[in-house]
Structure formats: structure tokens, C-alpha cells
Chains A and B, each alone.
Chain A
Amino acid sequence: MHPPTGNKPRMTRIARMKKIRVIRVIRAICGSCFFLVALSLLCTSARGDGGALRLSQRIGGRMVSVFTSPTPLRAGRVDVSVYVQDAASADPIGRAEVFVTAAPLDRHGESIRRRATVDQATNKLFQAAEFDLPEAGRWRFSIEADDPRQPGALSFEADLAGPPPRWRALAPWIGWPWLVIAAFISRQFLLHHSSNFRLKRLRKL
């Protein structure tokens, strides 16, 4: 015979199984939420340069490849990286004068011209230029790889999605305390359950 366990009536086996199932479902939901939150936090970050290959084209004796990030492109900070190679030897031409111009196509607006430099690129094979593009819409990016011997220009068009909501950029700053709170709550529940479990076993003894 089991001694009485306080005023609460003893739980039946079915009820206990139900409770365990509910706890498991809650755990699964919490775990999924945690995973999704972590994933969304990661999605906000973009690599400094590189990213998606936009075009790779031979101009004269040079091969020019252009990468953009983030993927997909959004209004706000956009990175354009240019890789200029010697078409014959595939050696990088790091000292080429490269300018990138971003111009809006949907409306009248000023185009933005930046010089791409190796210093701005993480991968030192590239020359990168960073833009702060104000609006979503269709933009044309023109690349001028000025070489005194072989001047050349190439361009591509890209659709920029709207800028990410401000909270997304700030999500890690606003979100981390809630992870701490979740960890604290989990710890308290674990401790409570484990101490309850030990107490129950002691009572059974």
C-alpha cells in the first residue's frame, strides 16, 4: 500500500500517460520554436562579399565575374564584388580600376557610383563596393573595369525586394534575453520535476 501523498488524489496511469504526452508535445513545440528563431536570426546576416554570381563575361583579354550579396537582394546595404582575371592565364588582376554604378530603372532617381577596392573585400581576389540602396524596385548595375588598354563596361539588372523590417536587424539584440528566460524557465521546470520525482520515490520507499 502506498502512503497518502497529500490532499491531491493519486493520478491514474492513463492520466499520467496523457500528461507525459502533453509535456512531450510542448517540448517539441518549444524546440521547434527555438530552432526557427535561431534560423531567422542567422538569416539576417549576410556575407561581406561574394554571394550569388550575377554574371561572368569575357571582355577583351579579361574575364570579369560579378557577385552580389545578400541573396536575395534587398534595399539597404548591398555588396557588389567584382573578380577581374586575365582570360588567358586566369590570374587575378587586382589593380584594375573598377567602378560600379547602381541606377534605379522604375523611377527617376540619382544613380550611385562607387569604386570597388580590394580593401573592402574579404576575399582578396575580389574588388568590392558597398551600396546603401534606398528603395526596392528594379536596378541596373554597371561595372566599368577601366583598363587604359581595353576599356570595357558590362551591366546586369536585378530586382531589389523591400528593405527588411527594422526589427529583423535588431532581432538578435531584442531576442537574446528571451532565450535566457527560456533557459531559466527550462531549468526551473527541470529542477522542479526532478525534485518531485525524487520526492515521490522517497515517499514510495
Chain B
Amino acid sequence: MNPTFEAVLRSWPSEPWLSAALLATAGVYLRGWLALRGRDPERWHAGRLAAFMAGLGTIFLALASPIEPFSGLLLQVHMLQHLLLMMAAPPLIWLGAPFFPLLRGLPAVVRRDWAAPVLRVRWLRRGFERLTHPCVALPLFAGATWLWHAPAVYEAALERDAWHYLQHACFLATALLFWHPVVRPYPSRPRWSRWLLVPYLIAADLQNTVLAALLTFSGHVWYPHYAEAPRVAGVSALADQAAGGALMWAPGSLAYLGPLFAIGLAQLCGTGERRGKASDAPRQARRLQGERAARPKRGAAPFDVLRIPLLGRFLRWPRARIALQLPMLVVAAAMIYDGLRGPQIGPMNLAGVLPWIHWRGLLVIGLFAAGNVACMACPFTVPRRLGRRWLPAAWNWPRRLRSKWLAVSLLATFFWAYEQFALWDNPWRTAWIAIAYFAAAFVVDGLFRGASFCKYLCPIGQFNFVQSLVSPLEVKVREAEVCAACHTKECIRGSPSVPGCELQLLVPQKSSNMDCTFCLDCVHACPHANVGILAVAPGHALWSETPHDSLGRLAGRTDLAALCVVLVFAAFANAAGMVAPVVHGLDRLRSAAGPHQAAWVTPGFYLATLVLGPIVLVGAAAAFSCGLSAGPRAWLHTARRFAYALVPLGFSMWLAHYSFHFFTSYDAALPVIQRFAGDLGLPFAGEPRWVCGCCRPAADWLLHAEILALDFGLLLSLYASYRIAVSPSQRFWRAVRALAPWALLIALMYFAGIWILLQPMQMRGTMPGA
């Protein structure tokens, strides 16, 4: 085979974004086309689908095939690329009548809440109608063609990628406008005679012919780029230009004159207009509406984890939780043993690696991907079964302590202690913290009824409860009617074999993951098998006005709001405490403060970031929000209500931070396990490979993923605050003013998060090097 031809066949550029966009468009069209074809197969025939797909395929061919890399070497190839974008792809796309299929193919929420209202906007529709008028579309099309073929502009497009992309976008956009009146895709209405298209297409052909002739018969090379470029297959620059002109001339003319001939013939034969073709659109819409109304409404059952074949069966098994807890208990026991007896170097000890790299990383990934699976497999609650056997377990938790304030203070203390005592590098203290956890769960749940430790004390539990507000899964009832008819309420009272919910959550009234440990006791106790782990919209509970079971209305709970705020700010403070500028700043403060005052720097940092900062920022946002909106609510109520909107951003920061450590050091556990096994006299694991325990530079994709997490956190936080602001009683502009300070605060926190992610971060729990 000719080597040039072989190279052409192998030169496929990688265009993942273009391919993804085209695939997504094709998928949406196909979905909509299938739905429409089910109702009206005559109108939505296979030809439309084929035409639209061919249009997308033509765009792919022009931009992501060997044509693209060779367009810089040969003008004729570049001309072919432009012809595909201007004369092949647009009419094919319009022949597919893409308006309805693309609209119908969108998810219902997007179609109903986003696309439909925008498409109803009068000036947008009118603007499109004006742009597709022959008197506007033709000058635009011809103008773009001539402008981009001017030597200086063409050269700029060849030199700079941005101009090249703009050139292609311009060609495609103006060509779509140009071909719209020619194809007149359904449901556009005839606004002028088809005879008008005869001069329209002739004029388009004329300008194309003139430009093509100028190129073909020119005695010099128009574009210096091609004059300097190496010759491919022995074609000279001038011959290449002539070939490019001829390509523009002959197939170009065919593209204009073919439709002209067809339209003229149809007009002469009287088959050009199917009268009533467009006017029957409203009738069709009415018919479809009638069909829709007559059809029985079918609520789509949400995704239920318990219905997944193997996993669902396992989770429905009453001993599923203990089966998950026992391995965790073994790991915790090994970690405690190694923390107390093993080497007191964090990266060499199970207590230095497993809790601070792996467990934290897996916990946030679990919360992001599923729900509160960490509480489900929590090992600390296993010994409480013994506690309940040996201790009375008969007292009620003191009424004064039935709030989250104790947990808030424990959490703040924990974040401070982590930094103050360098817990990640202190296996002995980490082991003692785990022992304290076991002892506290044993004593509290042995003395008091219910799961008081989980509900009121456990800092990890509170972390999981708050972050799981944005998780995609929730323990919920499948059908509300079944619960309405149920009088025994085993889900909370329990059955003889299975206890009910120990956190006193009545599942039919449960509207979020707050206080839910995913113990699945309700699933096992329900005699109607009406409780599932269902997919929900992440974060829906943040703006919900319905009272949460056993928690009441979120806006009425200052302790819950304080818990959320502390966790959100702790996400940023905890990550900031590990980045170089902050670490150096704190070190400078310590040296400036002197030996006696230096010990106060870390507590001062956490006091500022977890207590004073949140009070000032949230308080100011609430005060401005109240002042600007002149609302009747007190600022404390506003602060409480909007505090929940910050949770997604805080969670995204936790996710970005902990997953960073997990993915950069996931194999740091391997040598530690080898060392631990060796110490126990079990050398089956081999010699420790300490090189795995060294920190390594983070991959590019990880930073992108971290930013992406923060992006989604920003969007969900803004959306939650918008939903909170636009409560039914508020007017639009008042809601906007109420929202503005919170949006500003969220944006500031987002940029603070981005700044933190871009700083060099300490690789705690790993060895230096690599």
C-alpha cells in the first residue's frame, strides 16, 4: 500500500469531548425518537433517525477523522472538511427534524423545568425565526464563507487553534441557519412561498462559484501556510489550491442545485406543500395530551438496593450487619494491638495507616456513592450487646442532653486534638482513642435505653449523619399506603426476633438520613417487607420544609445547624492545616509567640476556624440576608435555615481531601500488614515492601476529580440555598436578596477550597521519599 495512504488511514485524532458530545446528542435523539415513534410511526419514520445520525456522523468525520490532521497539510482536505460542515451535516441534521426528538429525549425534569420554559420565551423564538429567514440566513452564510476565506483570517485559523475552532463553529452555525428554510424541518411553519428558495439557492450557488473560481484559477498561492508546508504525495501548493477550489465548486454546486431542482419539481407538480402539515401540529399535540390523560398514571419505582439480586439478599439477611461488623472488629482489634505494642512510627503501624488513610477515605467514598455504610459496619457498637447483658440498660438519656450540643463540642475537641497531638503520627494515642470509643459505647449503651451513644455522643456518627444528607440512598418505605394501614409499627417497636429502630426513627415519617445508622433493623422487622434502601435526590432534605421524624423542623434546631456549620468549616480547616502556606504561617506564629505562648497557636487556629469564623461569617450572612430581604424572620431563624445549605460544599471538601490521601497512599497499608504479620510470627506475607509506604506525587486526574467534587458541592449548595430562599411565601426579588449573601459566602468558601487543593499538601501517614 502507498505509505501516504497508509498513514492517512491510521491518523485518527483523539477527540474525547467531541465524541462524548456527539454520543450524548445521539442518545438523547434516539430516546426521543423511540418515544415519538411509538405514538406516530408515520411521522417519525426510520429515515429521520438515519438522517440525523448521518448528520452527527458527518460532523465526527469532519473533526475527528484523518481529515482533521491532514487539513493543515493540504488545502483540498481542509476544503473537504469545510464542505462536510457546511453542506452535508446541516441538511442531514434538519432532515432528522431534531426539535421534538431532542426535547422528548431529555430527562423529564430537564425537559419540564429547563427546556420547556426557555423554549416558551417569546423573544427567543422570534429571534430564531428572524435568523432563519432567507433574507438573514443567506447573508450570514455567504458572509461567513467569504470572511473565513480571506487570506489573513484563514492564516490565523491555521496558526491558532482557538481561531480554527471558531471558524468551524461559525461555518456550522451559519450553515444550520442557511439550510433551515430549505429543509423546513417539522414543526416549523411555512412563512413564505417555496418559490422564494429558487433565488435563495441560486444566490448561494453563485457566491460559492465565484469564490471557487477565484481559488481554482488563481496564479498564486493564497495561503502562505500551504506554500511552506511540506508536499504530500508530490502535490504542489498551487495544484492543491486548484483542487480545493474545484472541490468547492463542483460538489458545492451540486449541494445547492440538487435541492433547487427537487423543490422546483415539487412546486411544479404541486406536491411541494402538504397543506396542513404544520397546522396539524396543535391538533397532534391535543391528541397526544388526550392520550396521556387517558393513560393510567404509573409511578416509576425508585432504584432499591434491596432488590439487587445478591447484595439485596445479603442485606435482607438479619445477620448482615454483624457479618459486616465482625471483620471491622477484627481489624480494629489488630489496630489497637499494633498501636499499643508495635513501632511508634505512623507509616509503619496499623494504627497510623488504617484509620487515617484508608478508613477515612473509604468512609467518604461510601457516603458519596451510597450512604451511611460506615455506621452500618461500625465495630464500636458490637460490644454494647455485652454491655446490655451485664449492665441494666434501663435509664433514659438525660433530657437536658438530648441534643447535638455534646456531640458538637466533642467533634470540635477531636479536630483540635488531631492537630495538637499529631494523631496521624501517634499510633499509641490512636489506639487509646479506639479503646475509649469501645468503652464509651459499652458503658453508655449498657446504662441507657436505645442507641444513645450513636444518637447523642459519637462524633463519627454525627459526621456520617450530616454528610449522608447528600448521599444518594436512603432507608425509606416503598409504598406509603402500606404503612398507613399498618397499626403494629414493628419498624420502631420491633418484633420478638428483631429490635425496632433504636434511634427512635419511625420509617414512614423519616425524610432524611439524619440519625439513621443504616442498621436495617426496620428492614428486618417490617412484616410487610415495605422498607427498602431507595435512591433519592441527593440533598433533598436540606431544603425540605417537612418535619423530620424525632428531629422536628430543621429550621427549629440550633444544635443541628451548629453541627452542620462546624463540620463544614472543619472540612476547610482540617485540609488547610496540612497545606504548606498555612503550616508555614502557623510555624511563624509559633516562633513569634515565644516558647510559652506557642502552645496556644493550634487551639487558637481551631477556635478561629471552628467557632469564631463560623459565628462571624454565618451571622453576617444571616444578618445581611434578613436586612436585604426585609423578611419577617429573625436572623437566628435565617441562619439556622440556611446553614444546611452549606453541607454539600463541606462534604465535597471532605471528599476531595480524604480521597486525595486515599488514592495517593492506598498501598501504604501493604508493608504495614506484612510487618504486622511478621511480628506475629506469620511470615506468609513476605518481607515488608516499604517503598509502597512512601508518598508519591498525585496524578493529574486526581486534582481534576477533587475540583469536580468541589464543583458539584458548590452547585448543590447554591441550589439548596436557592430552594430555601424561594419558599412559597417569598416574592421573587425578595428571595434573590435573601439568597445573595449566602451565595457570596458559598462562592468564597468554594474559592478557598480551590486554593487549598492547589497548594502542596503534607502526605501524612506515609514515609517521605519517592
Contacts and interface: CB of A to CB of B under 8 A. Distances in A.
Contact of A71 (B4, B159, B708, B732): B159
A56 interface: yes
A173 B704 contact: yes
Interface string A55-76: 0100000010100001100000
Interface in A30-87: 39, 42-43, 45-50, 52-53, 56, 63, 65, 70-71, 83, 85
A105 B43 CA distance: 69
B599 interface: no
Nearest to B736: A188
B342 interface: no
Interface string A132-144: 0000000000000
B11 A123 contact: yes
B714 interface: yes
B230 A63 contact: yes
A166 B758 CA distance: 9
Contact of A125 (B4, B165, B704, B732): B4
A191 interface: yes
26 contacts: A42-B161, A43-B160, A48-B14, A56-B228, A65-B230, A70-B161, A71-B159, A85-B231, A90-B232, A91-B2, A92-B3, A92-B4, A122-B11, A122-B13, A125-B4, A125-B7, A125-B232, A166-B758, A170-B703, A170-B704, A173-B707, A174-B711, A177-B714, A177-B715, A180-B715, A194-B120
A90 B711 contact: no
Nearest to B751: A174
Given A90-B231, A90-B232, A166-B758, A52 B122 contact: no
A203 interface: no
Interface in B97-145: 114, 117-118, 120-122, 124
Contacts, number: 100
B230 A85 contact: yes
B708 A173 contact: yes
A170 B584 CA distance: 25
A184 B228 CA distance: 48
A187 interface: yes
Contacts of B10: 124
Contacts of B122: 194
A184 B719 CA distance: 10
A42 B162 contact: yes
A89 interface: yes
B72 A50 contact: yes
Given A42-B161, A166-B758, A187-B117, A94 B3 contact: yes
A96 to B, nearest CB: 12
A200 B582 CA distance: 56
Given A45-B161, A166-B758, A174-B711, A124 B11 contact: yes
Contacts of A39: 162, 166
A191 B113 CA distance: 10
B161 A83 contact: no
Contacts of A63: 230
Contacts of B592: none
Contacts of B233: 90
Pick from B3, B160, B225, B230 the residue with the most CB of A within 10 Å: B230
B70 interface: yes
B210 interface: no
B711 A176 contact: yes
A17 interface: no
A50 B228 CA distance: 14
Contacts of A48: 13-14
B627 to A, nearest CB: 21
A141 B406 CA distance: 67
Contacts of A181: 715, 718
A66 B13 CA distance: 19
A190 interface: yes
A168 interface: no
A71 B225 CA distance: 14
Given A173-B708, A190-B121, A192-B732, A91 B4 contact: yes
Contacts of A173: 704, 707-708, 711
A9 B603 CA distance: 57
Interface of A: 39, 42-43, 45-50, 52-53, 56, 63, 65, 70-71, 83, 85, 89-92, 94, 122-125, 166, 170, 173-174, 176-177, 180-181, 184, 187, 190-192, 194
A4 to B, nearest CB: 18
B499 interface: no
Nearest to B117: A191
B308 interface: no
B14 A122 contact: yes
Contacts of B72: 50
Nearest to B228: A53
Contacts of B117: 187, 190-191, 194
B234 A53 contact: no
Contacts of A70: 161
Contacts of A166: 758
Interface string B1-18: 011101110111110000
B383 interface: no
A70 B225 CA distance: 16
Nearest to B113: A187
A176 B708 CA distance: 10
Contacts of B11: 122-125
Contacts of A176: 711
Given A48-B14, A190-B117, 8 more contacts: A53-B229, A63-B230, A70-B161, A123-B70, A125-B7, A125-B11, A170-B758, A194-B120
B230 A122 contact: no
B270 to A, nearest CB: 41
Contact of B230 (A71, A83, A190): A83
B235 to A, nearest CB: 8
Contacts of B80: none
B754 interface: yes
A85 B231 CA distance: 9
A103 B26 CA distance: 48
B410 to A, nearest CB: 34
A99 to B, nearest CB: 20
A49 B715 CA distance: 36
A138 B229 CA distance: 24
A124 B70 CA distance: 10
A85 B4 CA distance: 10
B470 to A, nearest CB: 16
